[in-house]
Amino acid sequence: MTFREEWAQLKAEAKAGRAEQMQLNANGPGPGGANSGPGPHLRVHQDDLGKVGNEAFRLHGILQKTADVAGGGANKSGAGTTAQAAAELRSRNLSSGSELYTTLEMWTSQVKTVLQMCAHISNHLDYSVGQHAKDEALIEASMKQRNGRPVPVSELEKYVK
């Protein structure tokens, strides 16, 4: 039997078998599946957000103090030791001076990007936690009866159905 004949036979068998099977366009039972049950699939707690935001803030502070190689050991004109070394190598016509300066520029650019992302994460999560608390308070206040008691579940079900 040639490859083409065998391939044709396998395709025919697969096509014939497909008619007998049923395929759903969803996951099966289990976590995240179609039959996984009620409830949210993604849960985030305010404590978790606070921890992530705090770590981003902490990382920002550490990076700001330790990753600044451009300003480390700055002289009177403000050039750091790495920039001074690059200038010295360049003045002696060594190509590694230009490469060192390019590396310094790239490093500084990358550090600034990471610092911006840490600040963005920290600020956004702080905002999200505060906004969520305000939204919860607003929802809670709007879900009370005139006498201050919570709206009964039977009353809420009318709006869901």
pLDDT band for 49, please (50, 70, 90 cuts).
Answer: confident
Mean pLDDT, the chain, whole residue set? 77
> Following CA atoms 82, 87, 91, 95 in sequence, which dihedral angle do they give, to the nearest 10 degrees?
70
Structure tokens at 114: 């990471």
> Which residue in 68, 90, 93, 63 sits closest to 81, CA to CA?
68
* pLDDT per position as a tens digit, 66-85: 887 777 777 777 778 888 89
> Which residue in 41, 57, 36 sits closest to 121, CA to CA?
57
* pLDDT per position as a tens digit, 20-33: 555 555 555 555 44
* pLDDT per position as a tens digit, 130-157: 787 788 778 777 777 777 777 776 666 6
